[in-house]
A and B are shown apart, each in its own frame.
Chain A
């Protein structure tokens, strides 16, 4: 059974810092991995999607990497801003046939000004 773990559960940093959020999964046979942002009580905003054949994806100040063999993904946020404060969730899709996303419990980020 695929399990997704995110460490740390919470992170507080001052504005301007570069930071890394970690995601690990137990079964390396994934189809793709998606990073989301969730603000309190709100929906999930898709940040980056990495297909299983890719090593990384970039969007603005965000860079996500994927190492399938070790079952790990990282989300790198450059020059953090208070507006980045939110919970970041990673989710893996098991296979092309199985469409469900399996989520980690998220990392809650707080960026202070």
Chain B
């Protein structure tokens, strides 16, 4: 069965640079979620989208922005990167926000040097 696809899988950036993470949900899933998992931490919710509209917002820094496109893929844009942004970034998708069994992708490991 098709799963959530995230790219890139690994990303190394310098401080103050920008990064763009991409997420391709499971086919027919129209809701995407972004989570950040720091080293040894539990995943923290950042933001979610349903039908290209933001549906919920968590602890996403102002330096980050995200959007969902007409084909339901989503991008997380991160600017002015800081050392503390180094983490695993997960995208999840679900078939609508109401059922909400969230299926997670493999994650993008971002390292900021």
How far apart are the CA atoms of A99 and B32 in the complex, in Å? 10
Q: Out of B41, B43, B56, B90, which one reaches A98, CB within 8 Å?
A: B56
Task: Give chain B's interface residue range (CB within 8 Å of chain A).
Answer: 20 to 34
Q: A96–B98 contact, CB under 8 A?
A: yes
How far apart are the CA atoms of A42 and B42 in the complex, in Å? 13
B58 contacts partner chain A, Cβ-Cβ < 8 Å: yes
Q: B107–A32 contact, CB under 8 A?
A: no
Q: A42–B106 contact, CB under 8 A?
A: yes
Residue of A nearest to B46 (CB): A100
CB distance from B36 to the nearest CB of A (A): 11
**Interface residues of A, CB < 8 Å — how many?**
25
Residues of chain A lying within 8 A (CB to CB) of residue B109: 41
Q: Find the residue from A43, A89, A97 having the highest chain B CB count within 10 A.
A: A43
Q: What is the 8 Å Cβ interface bit string for chain A, positions 42-68, against chain B (1 contact, 0 not)? A: 111110010000000000000000000
Given A43-B90, A89-B42, are A100 and B104 also a contact pair (CB < 8 Å)?
no
Residues of chain A lying within 8 A (CB to CB) of residue B56: 97-100
Residues of chain B lying within 8 A (CB to CB) of residue A101: 33, 35, 43, 45, 102
How far apart are the CA atoms of A49 and B104 in the complex, in Å? 14
How far apart are the CA atoms of A97 and B100 in the complex, in Å? 11
- Near B by CB (< 8 A), chain A positions 15-42 give 31-32, 34, 36, 41-42
A7 contacts partner chain B, Cβ-Cβ < 8 Å: no
How far apart are the CA atoms of A42 and B109 in the complex, in Å? 10
Residues of chain A lying within 8 A (CB to CB) of residue B107: 42-43
CB distance from B104 to the nearest CB of A (A): 4
Q: What is the 8 Å Cβ interface bit string for chain B, positions 45-73, against chain A (1 contact, 0 not)? A: 10010100001101000000000000000
23 contacts between A and B (CB under 8 A): A41-B88, A43-B90, A43-B104, A44-B43, A44-B90, A45-B104, A46-B102, A46-B104, A89-B43, A91-B43, A96-B97, A96-B98, A98-B56, A99-B31, A99-B33, A99-B48, A99-B50, A99-B56, A99-B100, A100-B33, A101-B33, A103-B42, A105-B41
Write the residues of chain B forming the contact surface with A, with a CB cutoff of 8 angstroms: 31, 33, 35, 41-45, 48, 50, 55-56, 58, 88, 90, 92, 97-98, 100-107, 109
